[in-house]
Amino acid sequence: MNSSIVSRNLLATLKIKMPVIQAPMLGWATPAMAAAVSNAGALGSVGIGGMKAEDARVVIRATRALTDKPFNVNVFCHKRAVSDPSREARWLEYLKPHFARFQSRPPDTLRDTFSTFIDDEAVLAMLLEERPAVVSCHFGLPEPAAITALREAGIVLFATATNLDDAARIADARIDAIVAQGSEAGGHRGTFDPAAADELLGTATLVRLLARESALPIVAAGGIVDGAGIAAMLALGAQAAQLGTAFVVTDESAASAADRAALLDRQSRTVFTKAVSGRLARGIDSAFMRLGQDPACPPIPEFPIAFEATRALIGAAKAHGSSDFDVRWAGAAVQLARAMPAAELVALLMRETFDAIRCLKDEFAR
Protein backbone atom coordinates (compact mmCIF):
# COMPACT_ATOMS: atom_id res chain seq x y z
CA MET A 1 0.00 0.00 0.00
CA ASN A 2 1.16 3.53 -0.78
CA SER A 3 2.63 5.02 2.38
CA SER A 4 1.42 8.57 1.69
CA ILE A 5 -1.89 9.57 3.23
CA VAL A 6 -3.39 10.46 -0.17
CA SER A 7 -2.38 8.58 -3.31
CA ARG A 8 -2.88 10.85 -6.31
CA ASN A 9 -3.51 8.05 -8.81
CA LEU A 10 -7.30 8.08 -8.84
CA LEU A 11 -7.52 11.86 -8.62
CA ALA A 12 -5.15 12.20 -11.56
CA THR A 13 -7.16 9.68 -13.58
CA LEU A 14 -10.38 11.56 -12.85
CA LYS A 15 -8.72 14.96 -13.37
CA ILE A 16 -10.06 16.29 -10.10
CA LYS A 17 -8.25 18.18 -7.34
CA MET A 18 -10.05 16.89 -4.27
CA PRO A 19 -10.72 13.35 -2.99
CA VAL A 20 -14.45 14.02 -2.74
CA ILE A 21 -17.18 12.39 -4.81
CA GLN A 22 -20.79 13.48 -4.48
CA ALA A 23 -23.01 10.39 -4.48
CA PRO A 24 -25.44 10.07 -7.40
CA MET A 25 -28.61 9.87 -5.21
CA LEU A 26 -31.27 9.28 -7.86
CA GLY A 27 -34.15 11.69 -7.27
CA TRP A 28 -32.17 14.14 -5.16
CA ALA A 29 -28.93 14.79 -7.04
CA THR A 30 -29.53 17.35 -9.79
CA PRO A 31 -27.46 18.56 -12.75
CA ALA A 32 -26.97 21.81 -10.81
CA MET A 33 -25.59 19.89 -7.81
CA ALA A 34 -23.27 17.72 -9.89
CA ALA A 35 -21.99 20.71 -11.84
CA ALA A 36 -21.39 22.78 -8.71
CA VAL A 37 -19.40 19.96 -7.12
CA SER A 38 -17.34 19.35 -10.25
CA ASN A 39 -16.70 23.06 -10.77
CA ALA A 40 -15.42 23.20 -7.18
CA GLY A 41 -12.74 20.61 -7.96
CA ALA A 42 -14.42 17.40 -6.77
CA LEU A 43 -16.47 14.85 -8.75
CA GLY A 44 -20.19 15.52 -9.12
CA SER A 45 -22.64 12.75 -9.97
CA VAL A 46 -26.10 12.21 -11.42
CA GLY A 47 -28.17 9.04 -11.27
CA ILE A 48 -30.03 7.64 -14.27
CA GLY A 49 -31.00 4.23 -12.84
CA GLY A 50 -34.29 3.07 -14.36
CA MET A 51 -34.51 5.98 -16.81
CA LYS A 52 -35.22 5.69 -20.53
CA ALA A 53 -32.22 6.51 -22.70
CA GLU A 54 -33.49 9.86 -23.96
CA ASP A 55 -34.56 11.02 -20.49
CA ALA A 56 -31.10 10.10 -19.21
CA ARG A 57 -29.49 11.97 -22.10
CA VAL A 58 -31.37 15.12 -21.06
CA VAL A 59 -29.92 14.82 -17.53
CA ILE A 60 -26.38 14.34 -18.83
CA ARG A 61 -26.61 17.23 -21.25
CA ALA A 62 -28.16 19.50 -18.62
CA THR A 63 -25.16 18.75 -16.39
CA ARG A 64 -22.69 19.29 -19.22
CA ALA A 65 -24.29 22.66 -19.98
CA LEU A 66 -23.30 23.78 -16.46
CA THR A 67 -19.76 22.39 -16.29
CA ASP A 68 -16.88 21.43 -18.54
CA LYS A 69 -15.38 19.36 -15.72
CA PRO A 70 -15.62 15.55 -15.33
CA PHE A 71 -18.73 14.09 -13.67
CA ASN A 72 -20.11 10.64 -12.90
CA VAL A 73 -23.25 8.98 -14.29
CA ASN A 74 -24.68 6.16 -12.17
CA VAL A 75 -26.59 3.15 -13.56
CA PHE A 76 -28.47 0.28 -11.89
CA CYS A 77 -27.25 -3.22 -12.79
CA HIS A 78 -29.79 -5.33 -10.92
CA LYS A 79 -31.03 -8.67 -12.19
CA ARG A 80 -34.53 -8.69 -13.61
CA ALA A 81 -37.12 -9.39 -10.91
CA VAL A 82 -39.07 -12.64 -11.02
CA SER A 83 -42.73 -11.90 -10.47
CA ASP A 84 -44.53 -13.92 -7.78
CA PRO A 85 -48.26 -13.06 -8.04
CA SER A 86 -49.10 -14.74 -4.73
CA ARG A 87 -46.38 -12.86 -2.85
CA GLU A 88 -47.35 -9.59 -4.47
CA ALA A 89 -51.03 -10.10 -3.69
CA ARG A 90 -50.23 -10.70 0.00
CA TRP A 91 -48.15 -7.51 0.10
CA LEU A 92 -50.97 -5.47 -1.43
CA GLU A 93 -53.44 -6.97 1.03
CA TYR A 94 -51.10 -6.02 3.90
CA LEU A 95 -50.99 -2.42 2.63
CA LYS A 96 -54.78 -2.08 2.29
CA PRO A 97 -55.40 -0.58 5.77
CA HIS A 98 -52.72 2.06 5.17
CA PHE A 99 -54.26 3.05 1.84
CA ALA A 100 -57.69 3.11 3.52
CA ARG A 101 -56.45 5.86 5.89
CA PHE A 102 -56.40 8.10 2.82
CA GLN A 103 -59.62 6.86 1.21
CA SER A 104 -57.64 4.93 -1.35
CA ARG A 105 -56.77 1.38 -2.27
CA PRO A 106 -53.56 -0.29 -3.49
CA PRO A 107 -53.00 -1.19 -7.14
CA ASP A 108 -54.66 -4.39 -8.30
CA THR A 109 -51.33 -5.82 -9.44
CA LEU A 110 -47.65 -4.89 -9.34
CA ARG A 111 -45.27 -4.67 -12.31
CA ASP A 112 -41.55 -4.26 -12.85
CA THR A 113 -41.38 -0.78 -14.36
CA PHE A 114 -37.63 -0.21 -13.84
CA SER A 115 -35.13 -0.89 -16.59
CA THR A 116 -31.74 -2.38 -15.76
CA PHE A 117 -28.49 -1.46 -17.47
CA ILE A 118 -27.65 -5.14 -17.80
CA ASP A 119 -29.90 -5.45 -20.86
CA ASP A 120 -30.65 -1.83 -21.81
CA GLU A 121 -28.88 -1.46 -25.15
CA ALA A 122 -30.42 1.99 -25.73
CA VAL A 123 -28.85 3.42 -22.55
CA LEU A 124 -25.51 1.82 -23.42
CA ALA A 125 -25.61 3.37 -26.90
CA MET A 126 -26.50 6.74 -25.39
CA LEU A 127 -23.58 6.58 -22.93
CA LEU A 128 -21.18 5.69 -25.72
CA GLU A 129 -22.40 8.75 -27.61
CA GLU A 130 -22.37 11.14 -24.64
CA ARG A 131 -19.15 9.75 -23.11
CA PRO A 132 -19.35 11.03 -19.52
CA ALA A 133 -16.01 10.91 -17.71
CA VAL A 134 -17.21 8.25 -15.28
CA VAL A 135 -19.95 5.62 -15.25
CA SER A 136 -20.61 3.96 -11.89
CA CYS A 137 -22.58 0.75 -11.40
CA HIS A 138 -24.83 -0.17 -8.48
CA PHE A 139 -26.38 -3.57 -7.60
CA GLY A 140 -24.02 -5.50 -9.85
CA LEU A 141 -22.05 -5.30 -13.08
CA PRO A 142 -22.87 -4.76 -16.75
CA GLU A 143 -22.31 -7.48 -19.31
CA PRO A 144 -18.64 -7.96 -20.32
CA ALA A 145 -19.29 -6.56 -23.80
CA ALA A 146 -20.74 -3.38 -22.31
CA ILE A 147 -17.74 -2.99 -19.97
CA THR A 148 -15.38 -3.37 -22.92
CA ALA A 149 -17.30 -0.84 -25.00
CA LEU A 150 -17.36 1.74 -22.20
CA ARG A 151 -13.66 1.30 -21.50
CA GLU A 152 -12.81 1.62 -25.20
CA ALA A 153 -14.79 4.86 -25.23
CA GLY A 154 -12.39 6.21 -22.58
CA ILE A 155 -14.94 6.10 -19.75
CA VAL A 156 -13.68 5.38 -16.22
CA LEU A 157 -15.76 2.68 -14.52
CA PHE A 158 -16.70 2.39 -10.84
CA ALA A 159 -18.75 -0.35 -9.20
CA THR A 160 -20.14 -0.70 -5.68
CA ALA A 161 -19.07 -3.51 -3.35
CA THR A 162 -20.40 -4.22 0.13
CA ASN A 163 -18.24 -7.30 0.68
CA LEU A 164 -15.03 -8.98 -0.47
CA ASP A 165 -16.74 -11.40 -2.86
CA ASP A 166 -18.40 -8.64 -4.87
CA ALA A 167 -15.13 -6.66 -4.83
CA ALA A 168 -13.32 -9.66 -6.33
CA ARG A 169 -15.91 -9.86 -9.12
CA ILE A 170 -15.41 -6.15 -9.77
CA ALA A 171 -11.67 -6.63 -10.11
CA ASP A 172 -12.12 -9.62 -12.42
CA ALA A 173 -14.44 -7.55 -14.62
CA ARG A 174 -11.73 -4.93 -15.27
CA ILE A 175 -13.59 -2.12 -13.49
CA ASP A 176 -11.31 0.81 -12.61
CA ALA A 177 -12.27 1.49 -8.98
CA ILE A 178 -14.33 0.02 -6.15
CA VAL A 179 -16.88 2.07 -4.23
CA ALA A 180 -16.70 0.45 -0.79
CA GLN A 181 -20.21 0.94 0.58
CA GLY A 182 -20.35 0.41 4.32
CA SER A 183 -23.49 -0.30 6.30
CA GLU A 184 -23.62 3.33 7.47
CA ALA A 185 -24.50 4.49 3.94
CA GLY A 186 -27.92 5.91 3.20
CA GLY A 187 -30.10 4.53 0.42
CA HIS A 188 -29.95 1.08 -1.10
CA ARG A 189 -27.27 -1.46 -0.33
CA GLY A 190 -25.33 -2.18 -3.50
CA THR A 191 -25.02 -5.91 -2.77
CA PHE A 192 -25.00 -7.97 -5.98
CA ASP A 193 -27.29 -10.68 -4.59
CA PRO A 194 -29.97 -9.25 -2.28
CA ALA A 195 -30.99 -12.75 -1.18
CA ALA A 196 -27.50 -13.56 0.14
CA ALA A 197 -26.52 -13.08 3.78
CA ASP A 198 -25.29 -9.52 4.33
CA GLU A 199 -22.49 -9.05 6.88
CA LEU A 200 -23.33 -5.33 7.03
CA LEU A 201 -19.64 -4.47 7.20
CA GLY A 202 -18.95 -0.93 8.37
CA THR A 203 -17.18 1.46 6.02
CA ALA A 204 -13.91 1.50 7.96
CA THR A 205 -13.72 -2.29 8.12
CA LEU A 206 -14.60 -2.72 4.45
CA VAL A 207 -12.06 -0.14 3.33
CA ARG A 208 -9.28 -1.78 5.36
CA LEU A 209 -10.13 -5.23 4.04
CA LEU A 210 -10.16 -4.01 0.45
CA ALA A 211 -6.93 -2.07 0.93
CA ARG A 212 -5.34 -5.35 1.93
CA GLU A 213 -7.02 -7.62 -0.62
CA SER A 214 -7.43 -5.50 -3.77
CA ALA A 215 -5.06 -3.54 -5.96
CA LEU A 216 -7.86 -1.34 -7.28
CA PRO A 217 -8.37 2.21 -6.02
CA ILE A 218 -10.98 2.40 -3.28
CA VAL A 219 -13.67 5.03 -2.81
CA ALA A 220 -15.06 4.94 0.74
CA ALA A 221 -18.83 5.44 1.07
CA GLY A 222 -21.06 5.42 4.11
CA GLY A 223 -21.30 7.60 7.23
CA ILE A 224 -18.92 10.27 5.90
CA VAL A 225 -20.24 13.82 6.12
CA ASP A 226 -17.26 15.97 7.13
CA GLY A 227 -13.54 16.39 6.61
CA ALA A 228 -12.58 14.35 9.67
CA GLY A 229 -14.43 11.40 8.16
CA ILE A 230 -12.70 11.91 4.81
CA ALA A 231 -9.28 12.07 6.49
CA ALA A 232 -10.02 8.87 8.37
CA MET A 233 -10.91 7.02 5.18
CA LEU A 234 -7.80 8.28 3.39
CA ALA A 235 -5.69 7.04 6.30
CA LEU A 236 -7.42 3.64 6.09
CA GLY A 237 -6.47 3.21 2.45
CA ALA A 238 -9.18 4.89 0.37
CA GLN A 239 -8.15 7.31 -2.36
CA ALA A 240 -11.41 9.28 -2.17
CA ALA A 241 -14.64 9.45 -0.20
CA GLN A 242 -18.15 9.45 -1.61
CA LEU A 243 -20.67 11.54 0.34
CA GLY A 244 -24.42 11.44 -0.15
CA THR A 245 -26.29 12.63 2.94
CA ALA A 246 -23.96 15.62 3.24
CA PHE A 247 -25.09 16.84 -0.19
CA VAL A 248 -28.82 16.12 0.15
CA VAL A 249 -29.29 19.32 2.17
CA THR A 250 -27.25 21.57 -0.15
CA ASP A 251 -29.00 24.35 -2.00
CA GLU A 252 -28.88 22.51 -5.34
CA SER A 253 -30.58 19.35 -4.06
CA ALA A 254 -34.03 18.35 -5.29
CA ALA A 255 -35.03 17.67 -1.66
CA SER A 256 -38.24 19.36 -0.56
CA ALA A 257 -38.48 21.71 2.40
CA ALA A 258 -39.97 18.84 4.44
CA ASP A 259 -37.12 16.54 3.38
CA ARG A 260 -34.54 19.12 4.43
CA ALA A 261 -36.22 19.73 7.76
CA ALA A 262 -36.24 16.00 8.50
CA LEU A 263 -32.59 15.55 7.55
CA LEU A 264 -31.51 18.56 9.59
CA ASP A 265 -33.55 17.53 12.63
CA ARG A 266 -30.96 16.52 15.23
CA GLN A 267 -33.47 14.04 16.65
CA SER A 268 -33.68 12.08 13.39
CA ARG A 269 -32.41 8.54 13.37
CA THR A 270 -32.00 6.07 10.55
CA VAL A 271 -33.10 2.47 10.16
CA PHE A 272 -32.92 -0.28 7.53
CA THR A 273 -35.95 -1.52 5.62
CA LYS A 274 -36.89 -3.61 2.60
CA ALA A 275 -40.45 -2.33 2.63
CA VAL A 276 -39.90 0.49 0.14
CA SER A 277 -38.40 -1.44 -2.74
CA GLY A 278 -37.73 -5.05 -1.81
CA ARG A 279 -34.01 -4.34 -1.28
CA LEU A 280 -32.39 -3.38 2.00
CA ALA A 281 -31.97 0.39 2.31
CA ARG A 282 -31.23 2.90 5.06
CA GLY A 283 -33.35 5.99 5.64
CA ILE A 284 -34.88 8.22 8.28
CA ASP A 285 -37.29 6.35 10.52
CA SER A 286 -40.90 6.84 9.35
CA ALA A 287 -44.21 5.06 8.99
CA PHE A 288 -43.10 3.49 5.74
CA MET A 289 -39.76 2.36 7.13
CA ARG A 290 -41.58 0.66 9.99
CA LEU A 291 -43.92 -1.31 7.72
CA GLY A 292 -41.26 -3.92 7.16
CA GLN A 293 -40.54 -4.24 10.90
CA ASP A 294 -44.08 -5.30 11.79
CA PRO A 295 -44.15 -8.99 12.84
CA ALA A 296 -47.23 -9.37 10.63
CA CYS A 297 -45.36 -8.14 7.55
CA PRO A 298 -45.47 -10.73 4.74
CA PRO A 299 -42.53 -11.33 2.37
CA ILE A 300 -41.94 -8.17 0.35
CA PRO A 301 -41.97 -8.44 -3.46
CA GLU A 302 -38.63 -8.40 -5.25
CA PHE A 303 -36.83 -5.20 -6.21
CA PRO A 304 -38.05 -3.15 -8.01
CA ILE A 305 -41.59 -4.58 -8.21
CA ALA A 306 -42.42 -3.28 -4.72
CA PHE A 307 -41.80 0.30 -5.87
CA GLU A 308 -45.17 0.58 -7.61
CA ALA A 309 -47.09 0.13 -4.37
CA THR A 310 -44.69 2.52 -2.61
CA ARG A 311 -45.31 5.30 -5.09
CA ALA A 312 -49.06 4.76 -4.88
CA LEU A 313 -49.14 4.91 -1.07
CA ILE A 314 -46.92 8.00 -0.90
CA GLY A 315 -49.15 9.67 -3.50
CA ALA A 316 -52.35 8.79 -1.62
CA ALA A 317 -50.92 10.19 1.61
CA LYS A 318 -49.73 13.40 -0.05
CA ALA A 319 -53.13 13.91 -1.68
CA HIS A 320 -54.52 14.11 1.87
CA GLY A 321 -51.79 16.43 3.11
CA SER A 322 -49.83 13.74 4.93
CA SER A 323 -46.09 13.14 4.74
CA ASP A 324 -46.26 10.12 7.09
CA PHE A 325 -45.19 7.74 4.34
CA ASP A 326 -42.54 9.89 2.71
CA VAL A 327 -39.26 8.07 2.17
CA ARG A 328 -36.06 9.96 2.98
CA TRP A 329 -32.88 8.01 2.38
CA ALA A 330 -30.09 9.08 4.71
CA GLY A 331 -26.90 7.69 6.20
CA ALA A 332 -26.21 6.89 9.84
CA ALA A 333 -24.33 10.18 10.32
CA VAL A 334 -27.29 12.32 9.20
CA GLN A 335 -27.12 14.37 12.42
CA LEU A 336 -23.82 15.83 11.18
CA ALA A 337 -25.29 17.17 7.93
CA ARG A 338 -25.06 20.94 7.26
CA ALA A 339 -27.06 23.10 4.86
CA MET A 340 -25.15 25.31 2.40
CA PRO A 341 -24.42 25.60 -1.33
CA ALA A 342 -22.66 22.54 -2.77
CA ALA A 343 -19.50 24.42 -3.78
CA GLU A 344 -19.18 25.86 -0.28
CA LEU A 345 -19.54 22.39 1.18
CA VAL A 346 -16.74 21.04 -1.04
CA ALA A 347 -14.43 23.86 0.07
CA LEU A 348 -15.36 23.32 3.73
CA LEU A 349 -14.79 19.58 3.45
CA MET A 350 -11.30 20.09 2.13
CA ARG A 351 -10.40 22.60 4.86
CA GLU A 352 -11.66 20.16 7.47
CA THR A 353 -9.76 17.27 5.86
CA PHE A 354 -6.46 19.15 5.87
CA ASP A 355 -7.09 20.38 9.42
CA ALA A 356 -7.74 16.82 10.60
CA ILE A 357 -4.56 15.54 8.97
CA ARG A 358 -2.55 18.48 10.37
CA CYS A 359 -3.91 17.92 13.88
CA LEU A 360 -2.95 14.26 13.79
CA LYS A 361 0.57 15.11 12.64
CA ASP A 362 0.95 17.75 15.33
CA GLU A 363 -0.38 15.42 18.00
CA PHE A 364 2.09 12.67 17.19
CA ALA A 365 4.97 15.12 16.72
CA ARG A 366 4.80 16.15 20.40
| Domain shared by 235 and 122, yes or no | yes
Q: What is the mean pLDDT of residues 66-92?
A: 96
d(CA 223, CA 230): 10
Q: Tens digits of per-residue pLDDT, 281-296?
A: 999 999 889 998 889 9
CA nearest 314: which of 104, 114, 26?
A: 104
Q: Tens digits of per-residue pLDDT, 210-224?
A: 999 999 999 999 999
Structurally, the chain folds into a number of domains equal to 2
Task: Determine contact, residues 203/178, Cβ cutoff 8 Å.
Answer: no
Q: Tens digits of per-residue pLDDT, 118-154?
A: 999 999 999 999 999 999 999 999 999 999 999 999 9
Torsion of CA 200, 194, 324, 251, to 10 degrees: 70
CA atoms within 13 A on the CB side of 247: 37
| Domain shared by 120 and 222, yes or no | yes
| Domain shared by 199 and 295, yes or no | no
pLDDT at residue 302 greater than cutoff 50:
yes
- For residue 16, which phi and psi values (nearest 5 degrees)? -120, 160
d(CA 4, CA 98): 55
Say which range, 6-20, 43-57, 116-130, 218-232, has the weakest mean pLDDT.
6-20
Coil, helix or strand for 136?
strand
The DSSP letter of residue 163 is S
Q: Is 29 exposed, middle or buried (0-12, 13-18, 19+ CB in 10 A)?
A: buried
Task: Please indicate, yes or no, if residue 276 is contained in any of the structural domains.
Answer: no
State the residue range of the domain holding 296.
81-113+287-326
| Domain shared by 105 and 40, yes or no | no
| Domain shared by 185 and 223, yes or no | yes
| Domain shared by 73 and 152, yes or no | yes
Q: Locate all alpha helices (DSSP H) within 159-281, ordered by sequence.
A: 164-172, 203-213, 227-236, 245-248, 257-264
Q: What is the mean pLDDT of residues 320-327?
A: 92
| Domain shared by 94 and 123, yes or no | no
pTM: 0.95
How far is the first Cα of the chain from the last one, in angstroms, to the nearest whole number? 26
| Domain shared by 162 and 294, yes or no | no
CATH number of the domain where residue 60 is located: 3.20.20.70
Q: Tens digits of per-residue pLDDT, 160-191?
A: 999 999 999 999 999 999 999 999 999 999 99
| Domain shared by 106 and 120, yes or no | no
- Per-residue model confidence (pLDDT) at position 365: 67
Question: Which residues, other chains included, contact 165 with Cβ-Cβ below 8 Å and sequence gap of 6+?
Answer: none
Task: Please indicate, yes or no, if residue 280 is contained in any of the structural domains.
Answer: no
Task: Please indicate, yes or no, if residue 69 is contained in any of the structural domains.
Answer: yes
- Per-residue model confidence (pLDDT) at position 1: 35
Task: Please indicate, yes or no, if residue 277 is contained in any of the structural domains.
Answer: no
